[in-house]
Amino acid sequence: MADEASMDMLKTIADIDNEALVTPRATPAENNASALTFSGPTNDRQRAVVAAFRHAWQGYRKFAWGHDQLKPVSGGYSDWFNTGLTIVDALDTAIIMGLKEEASQATEWIRDSLSFEKDNYVNLFETTIRTLGGLLSAYHLTGDKMFVAKADDLGDRLLAAFTNSKSPVPLSDVNLKMKKAKPPQWSNDASLSEVTTIQLEFRDLSRVTGKRIYEDVAFNVSKHIHNIGCSDHDGLCDMYLNTDSGKFKTGTTITFGARADTYYEYLLKQWLQTGKTIDWLLSDYKTAMDSMQSKLLRYSEPSKLAFVGELLSGNVYSPKMDHLVCFLAGTLALGNQNGLSEEHMKIAESLGKACQAMYKNPTGLGPEIAYFNMLPGKQEDLSIKPLDAHCLLRPEAIEAWFYLYRFTGDKTYQEWGWEAFQAIEKYARVRNGYSSVKSVKKIPVSYRYVLFIDTLGW
């Protein structure tokens, strides 16, 4: 926990909202929309997070500029899609943090160097949420229509995922230069989450370009799933769909974790994005949440923490919960803030606490997967298997605590986030950036060694 001095630096929600913007809008450049202006950090904790961003940015800029990803340990780089993923994905964060130099560097690269004439296949989902979403966010924050032009170019190329498919379910891999699409080599199946977590971005692209086709092709996926239904599990869907037939692959795991998670999140957020006017989006969301409560929600022993397990093969309960499932705490809280059940908020708070329990490890970091205990008599609420103990620095828990803090004003959620950030700084920070951690259960030998050095000469 933070000391009293640090606590004094924390501001109320109203103060943060008032201080986030120096002026409501900056003077726009010619032919651009108006832009937001951010003041940058206002307290010590925010300054620490900004310093962490700059540390990662400097490593990326030195060793991997223009490439998709930095290899922070070796100082190398990797290219997933050859589209400068890190630059586009991080730009909105730099803007919100008030980092004008970094934002200018990214904007210049996007304007002068970002090209989608790439004769290689990219993943529709990842490209949509990272690159298309990043470009759209940058536009909304700056008003610079250059970002719209880039997003329109990318969106037009991604349309092949829909037009090349035999069903309303899009293909996963798109060649941006050739405007061709195909399923992955290993299967004709598409994961539920990947084909239903692109609608917000494609709808927004339609809004900023005036081209209906983007919203239409993406929303057709949602309509298709609504029409064929998930009645076998009362609104909870199987995790794969066949792109040829458009039908679900039955008998798969029913989960709010990998391959299914954000389908449920985007039901709610699409309803909000469309002004709460499409009733079946809300109905499908509420049905799914009711079934989640009856089929997957359980409470751990001894602390009675809410967790959301899985149905293996569609019918065998497992108390396994991915770190990814922590998103649900934020989604439930968001729904409650928009008129949905108070029970959703109670579950959200308890689930947020369960996610924090996943971080109670020697490193203070959360694992990829935890198994919760439902048997009385045991002292621990959860266990972590060795192969599940790695930490990929996923954001879902901190995102959930952000929602819960904003909606409740309870600074406990800030404290949990601060503790997680400090753990990242201690165990994931390396010379050139931040790395995944092999086991959240084991403190690296180097820390045990230096603990017993009487004097530090370095």
Pick 39 or 45 by higher pLDDT. 45
| Residues 82 and 118 sit within 8 Å (Cβ to Cβ) | yes
CA distance linking residue 59 with residue 432, whole number of Å: 4
Q: Which fold has domain 253-458?
A: Glycosyltransferase (1.50.10)
Please state, rounded to an integer, the average pLDDT across all residues of the chain: 92
Chain segment 370-401, per-residue pLDDT in tens: 999 999 989 999 999 999 999 999 999 999 99
Inform me whether the pLDDT recorded for 153 exceeds 50: yes
Residue 39, pLDDT score: 83
Of residues 284, 349, 368, 415, which has the active-site annotation?
A: 368
What's the rounded mean pLDDT across residues 202-209? 98
- Report the distance separating Cα 434 and Cα 155, nearest Å: 31
Please list the alpha-helical segments (H only) found in 80-172.
85-96, 100-113, 124-126, 133-142, 146-158, 160-163
Residue 119 among the catalytic residues? no
* Whole-angstrom distance, CA of residue 420 vs CA of residue 364: 6
Q: What is the mean pLDDT of residues 80-106?
A: 97
pTM of the model: 0.91
- pLDDT (average), residues 75-94: 97
Percent of the chain topping pLDDT 70: 90
- Asked which of 4-8, 37-41, 345-349 is least confident by mean pLDDT, the reply is 4-8
Query: 293 or 15, which is more confident?
Result: 293
pLDDT given at position 6: 38
pLDDT at 444: 79
Q: In this structure, are strands 369-372 and 382-383 parallel, antiparallel, or unpaired? A: antiparallel
> Which tens digit of pLDDT belongs to each residue from 304-328?
999 999 999 999 999 999 999 999 9
Indicate if the pLDDT at residue 426 is higher than 80: yes
Task: Name the DSSP letter for residue 130.
Answer: I
Q: How high is the pLDDT of residue 69?
A: 98
Strand runs labelled E in 326-439 = 369-372, 382-383, 429-430, 433-434
Name the catalytic one among 68, 152, 201, 261. 261
Cis peptide before 386 (omega within 30 of 0): no
Whether 102 sits among the annotated catalytic residues: the reply is no
pLDDT tens across 210-256, in order? Answer: 999 999 999 999 999 999 999 999 999 999 999 999 999 999 999 99
pLDDT at 12: 44
126 classed as catalytic: yes
* Chain mean position to CA 110: 22
| Pair of tokens at residue 326 | 């922590």
